[in-house]
Amino acid sequence: METILLTQFVGGLYGLLAVVFGAFGAHALKKKLTPDQLQSFETGVRYQMYHAIVLLVLGYNFGFEQPLERYIVNCFIFGTLLFSFSIYGLCLSAAKGKKLRFLGPVTPLGGLLLVIGWALLLYSFIAPML
């Protein structure tokens, strides 16, 4: 039961933060970021919202009786955290002239976790037929 609640909570939190960060980017950061930085920031927001919705759907549809379901959700939770939040950090730090370069490798790691989460989700659909 706690995994279901955690999945739904994180999905809701990511959705809320995506709206807040999206508004922040569109208004407060529009004049502080370059067009490329703003586009990157918006990519982080977009991916965060997509995965917030996915987490909510999975939280209401998974029973979390199989480890595979937990792996999928963990990939989406941690992948989103690493991917989107590293982009936010890179954009905001670059705008202040002190780019946090150590975050550069974090973004693709988060992206990889998202890809693994989607691959595992696809596998969960076809596994019963194998």
Q: What is the pLDDT of residues 94-123, one digit of tens each?
A: 988 898 999 999 999 999 999 999 999 999
* pTM summary value: 0.94
What is the rounded CA–CA span in Å between residue 85 and residue 80?
7
What is the rounded CA–CA span in Å between residue 26 and residue 15?
16
The one-character DSSP state at 128 is G
- pLDDT over 70 for what percent of the chain? 99
What is the rounded CA–CA span in Å between residue 7 and residue 58?
8
